[in-house]
Structure 1
Amino acid sequence: MKNNRKNTWIFLMISMMFLSSACSQEKATVKKKPNILYIMADDHTTQAFGIYGSRLAKLNPTPVIDKLAKDGVIFDNCFVNNSICVPSRAAIITGQRAQTNGVIDLEGSLRPENQYLPIEMGALGYQTAIIGKWHLHEEPAAFDYYKVLPVQGKYFNPDFRVKGNGQWPDNIEHTVGHSSDVITNSTLDWLKNERDPNKPFFLMHHFKAPHDDFENAPRYDDYLKDEFIPEPESLYDNKNNGSVATRGQNDSLTRIIGSSVSRRNLIRNQAMNIYADSSIYKNYRDADKIAASEYIPFNNTPEEQKITKKVYQDYLKKYLRCVKGVDDNVKRIIDYLDKEGLLENTIIVYTGDQGFMLGEHDYIDKRWMYEESMRMPFIVRYPKGIKSGIRTDAIINNTDFAPTFIEMAGGKVPDYMQGHSFKEILETGKEPENWQQATYYRYWMHLAHKHGNPAHFGIRTKKYKLIFFYGRYWVDTDNPDATWNKNSWGNDFTRKTPVAWELYDLEKDPKEMNNLYNDPAYNNIIDSLKVELITIREQLNETDKNYPHIQKVIDEHWND
């Protein structure tokens, strides 16, 4: 009897030891999962980096981020699905395209149950947080913690909506300082005081900067003060870029299409910010009321070029001062992770929510399918699992981010996500067999926000870009005679603009200065790209079957 009790006691002790060991191993396994820090700046375009080798690289605008990039992987062909804030962010959070996640413009929103990325990361044992710009209107309740700017937020003394601080959207916290500093302060505070050390973290740190209108912290007022900022050649001469859709017959629409650095665009140009109260600008006050037929092509005289040069220098310096503030604040985060021993087990991603036009083709803002607007910077550093010094031209887009993070965290990509994980590319620098060789783009907001960009879609491969400008606003299929609730867009978006195609040979013409659509030598390439475009639109649920008046235009002009 005593032996039986003794054996039972020994068995219980051994069992407890095994259980304790198993729990310790499980806990250790959780701890070994990499943290993921996703840093995204608003409108930080590839031209404003050193590593992307643009005309601005010699100014060394991003030394900290460049160092981060050289320690990891640099993507040269990362693209946005729609170069505007809300749809881009929705694609990142859902891993889905616009017509699947329902966010096609700036008024789109994501309900908590559709905030898939934090949901999936939470299910994998991650503590999730988002700090900074959110812009998806609904409460980011799927995150364990949030502290986000209301809509666009302010550059100085920004307010935040904070989880646990009352009911959305009245859960406001007031702060003092420049947004880039304050957002970083908030991230560091979360890492120090809110982070659960027993869990890996998934933290989205979103800067407001360098979104326009640019406002830098005062300490950067003299940064680049005496520097001459290199200009793009196309600022003064756009050559054969564009089409009748973007320029009109005999350049008649250049006065209203594409917001400009120069005074070319009568409705919105950067010169307005300098000369708004000056006699040099007085003739442009009511330009948006002028009928399109009355526009006279812009006379780019030496005097106008002198004005443009001054405006451009002011515009770029303000932008780059905001970028400098972002770069310095990234260093603060890296230094903290290093000090706390977290750096080596943290996957650090740096990107922008889209590209941005910095005077190329005399354009400002984004929205275009042109390279500077469509291309996203994308770098990843993770010493434990990614070799340094990798550079890849593999095509990825922002719907691929969520699947990749999920797989890097040890999960399986859900079937409802349309993006693809590029984990293998991160680890090997090589494209998997059958990796995507093209990406699809769609800008819906026809002539919106006084920027004057016509609606368009297209396909981008490594060698070519084919764009279709269909020149129409869309209507509700349940009420074809009424437009949707888009009055907040500004502009007369019901106006139709010319329909046209554009083709660019990106190997020969990387700056897209020569539209080759009417060159017979490219007929076979155009035919092949159109077939691919039809296929990719169907695969991604991005057709116009719900927009019959747009489909009618497509059918009528597909073979133009």
Structure 2
Amino acid sequence: MKFKSFKTQLAFFALVTITVSSCKKESKIEKPNILYIMSDDHTSQAIGAYGKRLARLNPTPTIDRLAEEGVLLENTFCTNSICTPSRASIMTGQFGQVNGVVDLSGRLAPENQYLPIEIKKQGYETAMVGKWHLKHAPEAYDYYNVLPGQGDYFNPTLYSKEGGEKKEIRFEEDLVREVNATKYEGHSSDVITDITLDWLKNKRDKSKPFFLMHHFKAPHDFFEFAPRYKDYLEDVEIPEPSNMWYNGNNGSIATKGENNSLMDTIGSSIGHRNVIRNMGMHMEIDPNIPDPEYKKLAYQEYLKRYLRCVKGVDDNVKRIFDYLAAEGIMDNTIIIYTGDQGFMLGEHDYIDKRWMYEESHRMPFLVRYPKTIKAGSRTDAMINNTDFAPTMIEMAGGTVPDYMQGSSFKSILETGKEPEDWKQETYYRYWMHMAHKHNNPAHFGIRTKDYKLIFFYGRDYKTDRNTKAQKWAHNPESMSDFITPVAWEFYDLKKDPEEMDNRYNDPIYASTISDLKNRLKTLRNEVKEDDSKYPQIQAVIDEHWD
């Protein structure tokens, strides 16, 4: 083509430049938004789509939409069932010994907040709202407005990059920071959603795709629900887990003590069993009422308060969905829903989390993105929370960095098929030996699709003062110094999905257990779980491995 003049050529060049530049901009916007919603202690038993005993109560109609219109993951597990370490693994794609966060006192510096750092490289605007719980501020995000520590259920204070009033807050004994704090009125689930919606409507750069992590405080204990839910489930009898009453051959001397001598001490309970911490105490049930009535009353009140918090979460998720639909961006947003770990709702007569038992170990995980994920699909692929960051990075168009230990399961979400080299086991470790009056012994283990092997080593990693005799005066302040019995537990999950029968000493399973121990040893090396730093623990491992 021959141009008649320099001006004509210039005009043509300008038109091409504008067109190309416009296409580039549009292409950027067309990247999917990513909305990651996480609730604190929201376990899969309390999500209708998982079909557990509470499903008939229809506790989560909005969250269930993600399963109906997307994919539900059946085998997602945490690497440590406690808030701070789980969140650190999600943020870093790394196990606790690598990212340095193994218990509730752990902290994550801005330079190690890898997930938003990597997502930003793909042109995303990043935001974090709600419960953060990693001590240092989430400075790697473009925007944040988060609870200091655990935060309050009612009229919570949150802090952000700017605005509010300067306030000194102690995040740990040796970490006091001045932050920009603002006190809000209302229930935390409503407040956190108000802040998220304000950011979506008024504060974000709408020329960019967004990556938003929206973290509820609920339904963490002590289950303070918004007043509007006080009548929800009031006249309903909540179904009980059968093993709340009869625990069969679950556990070992590590969880019960010799001749059941630690039954009143280890593992906080629903009823009177645990004299240090039980749910009846928290639900203010008259302690003079004996079991089983005390236990029944405590369970019903516990579950109703918990599910009222869940109802508040579900209703607020609907508010976010309604906004996305009204803006026409629902189908261009990858929506993920999960909890930061599982939670015991009376199973085995336990409350709280920490255990490697199924209800505590398992995380809910549901994803909706109709452009690539088939509605109503499911997968039983083995996933753990170090895999979350790699997956979101790849879904954002990035490449998983070598320093992350987890793997992307993007292709599994989209095809329902596991790659040939996909993991067939997951590693778990709970470090906080006999902490916080829940008194769970420290342990680690391996889970496959069919089996679970747990090693309770019964020592605290922070001290070599574990010299106390296995009897004591019920002084909860000194529990981390208390040695508990060492034991292995093994469960055949195909035959015994509720983990009612510890078959570790059954010769029928000897070769299976031997194979699992070899795999566990290899897995510990792969994830860099080296106990050479903790000689009091390594000595126990060496002595009791076989």
| Cα separation, 2, equivalents of 1:114 and 1:279 | 47
Select 1:144's aligned residue among 142, 145, 154: 142
Q: Deviations over 1:136-167 (max 9, x none)?
A: 00011000000000100011000000121266
The corresponding residue for 2:174 is none
Q: 1:263 to 1:538 in 2, by over 3 A?
A: same
Bigger Cα displacement from structure 2, 267-276 vs 45-54: 267-276
- Give the alignment of 1:262-273 within 5 angstroms: 262-273=271-282
The corresponding residue for 1:18 is 16
Residue type of the alignment partner of 1:175? Y
The corresponding residue for 2:296 is 309
Select 1:353's aligned residue among 333, 340, 343: 340
Select 1:211's aligned residue among 195, 220, 223: 220
Any conservation in 2 of the 1:450–1:491 contact (CA below 8 Å)? no
| Cα separation, 1, equivalents of 2:399 and 2:284 | 55
The corresponding residue for 2:451 is 464
Q: 1:482 to 1:513 in 2, by over 3 A?
A: closer
| Cα separation, 1, equivalents of 2:284 and 2:312 | 27
The corresponding residue for 1:90 is 88
- How far the C-alpha of 1:68 sits from its partner, in A, is 2.0
SS of the equivalent of 1:20 reads: helix
Select 2:73's aligned residue among 62, 72, 75: 75
The corresponding residue for 1:259 is 268
- How far the C-alpha of 1:18 sits from its partner, in A, is 2.7
Any conservation in 1 of the 2:465–2:481 contact (CA below 8 Å)? no
- How far the C-alpha of 1:169 sits from its partner, in A, is 3.6
Is 1:280 matched with 2:278? Answer: no
Q: 1:6 to 1:482 in 2, by over 3 A?
A: farther
Q: Deviations over 1:452-497 (max 9, x none)?
A: 0000000000000000000001246xxx6799xxxxx944201100
TM-score, structure 1 as length reference:
0.92
TM-score, structure 2 as length reference:
0.94
The corresponding residue for 1:225 is 234
| Cα separation, 2, equivalents of 1:491 and 1:152 | 23
Q: 1:279 to 1:347 in 2, by over 3 A?
A: closer
The corresponding residue for 2:106 is 108
Q: 1:239 to 1:413 in 2, by over 3 A?
A: same
Q: Which runs of 5+ in 2 are unaligned?
A: 167-176, 468-475
SS of the equivalent of 1:188 reads: helix
Q: Superposition RMSD on alpha carbons, in Å?
A: 1.7
| Cα separation, 1, equivalents of 2:478 and 2:105 | 16
The corresponding residue for 2:116 is 118
The corresponding residue for 2:510 is 523
SS of the equivalent of 2:74 reads: strand
Q: Which runs of 5+ in 1 are unaligned?
A: 282-302, 484-488
| Cα separation, 1, equivalents of 2:460 and 2:228 | 44
Residue type of the alignment partner of 1:280? N
SS of the equivalent of 1:24 reads: helix
Any conservation in 2 of the 1:448–1:491 contact (CA below 8 Å)? no
| Cα separation, 1, equivalents of 2:483 and 2:99 | 27
The corresponding residue for 2:46 is 48
Q: Deviations over 1:53-94 (max 9, x none)?
A: 111111111111112221000000000010000000000011
Is 1:39 matched with 2:37? Answer: yes
Residue type of the alignment partner of 1:38? Y
Residue type of the alignment partner of 2:288? I
The corresponding residue for 1:486 is none
The corresponding residue for 2:414 is 427
Any conservation in 1 of the 2:268–2:351 contact (CA below 8 Å)? yes
Q: Deviations over 1:199-218 (max 9, x none)?
A: 00000000000000011001
Q: Deviations over 1:91-115 (max 9, x none)?
A: 0011111001000000000000000
- How far the C-alpha of 1:6 sits from its partner, in A, is 5.7
Q: Deviations over 1:298-350 (max 9, x none)?
A: xxxxx411211111001100000000000111101000100011101000000
- How far the C-alpha of 1:360 sits from its partner, in A, is 0.3
Select 1:180's aligned residue among 166, 189, 195: 189
- How far the C-alpha of 1:17 sits from its partner, in A, is 2.6
Bigger Cα displacement from structure 2, 265-274 vs 413-422: 265-274
Select 1:161's aligned residue among 145, 159, 162: 159
Any conservation in 1 of the 2:355–2:440 contact (CA below 8 Å)? yes
- How far the C-alpha of 1:384 sits from its partner, in A, is 1.3
The corresponding residue for 1:505 is 492
The corresponding residue for 1:555 is 542
SS of the equivalent of 2:254 reads: helix
Residue type of the alignment partner of 1:424? S
- How far the C-alpha of 1:542 sits from its partner, in A, is 1.3
| Cα separation, 1, equivalents of 2:212 and 2:3 | 52
Residue type of the alignment partner of 1:62? T
SS of the equivalent of 1:245 reads: helix
| Cα separation, 2, equivalents of 1:265 and 1:185 | 40
| Cα separation, 1, equivalents of 2:56 and 2:181 | 42
Residue type of the alignment partner of 1:457? F
Select 1:249's aligned residue among 242, 258, 264: 258
| Cα separation, 2, equivalents of 1:68 and 1:275 | 36
- How far the C-alpha of 1:274 sits from its partner, in A, is 4.0
| Cα separation, 2, equivalents of 1:169 and 1:258 | 37
Any conservation in 2 of the 1:349–1:381 contact (CA below 8 Å)? yes
The corresponding residue for 1:535 is 522
Residue type of the alignment partner of 2:419? P
Q: 1:555 to 1:459 in 2, by over 3 A?
A: same
Any conservation in 1 of the 2:270–2:350 contact (CA below 8 Å)? yes
SS of the equivalent of 1:155 reads: coil
Q: 1:129 to 1:274 in 2, by over 3 A?
A: closer
Select 1:127's aligned residue among 105, 125, 150: 125
Any conservation in 2 of the 1:161–1:169 contact (CA below 8 Å)? no
| Cα separation, 2, equivalents of 1:460 and 1:410 | 31
Any conservation in 2 of the 1:88–1:353 contact (CA below 8 Å)? yes
| Cα separation, 1, equivalents of 2:228 and 2:301 | 17
Q: 1:481 to 1:59 in 2, by over 3 A?
A: closer
Residue type of the alignment partner of 1:102? G
Q: 1:434 to 1:342 in 2, by over 3 A?
A: same
SS of the equivalent of 1:261 reads: coil
Any conservation in 2 of the 1:139–1:169 contact (CA below 8 Å)? no
Q: 1:546 to 1:429 in 2, by over 3 A?
A: same
SS of the equivalent of 1:86 reads: helix
Q: Percent identity?
A: 63
Select 1:410's aligned residue among 397, 404, 416: 397
Residue type of the alignment partner of 1:502? E
The corresponding residue for 1:291 is none
| Cα separation, 2, equivalents of 1:106 and 1:279 | 30
Q: Deviations over 1:416-470 (max 9, x none)?
A: 0001000001110111111110000000000000000000000000000000000
Bigger Cα displacement from structure 2, 39-48 vs 544-553: 544-553
Any conservation in 2 of the 1:129–1:204 contact (CA below 8 Å)? yes
The corresponding residue for 2:363 is 376
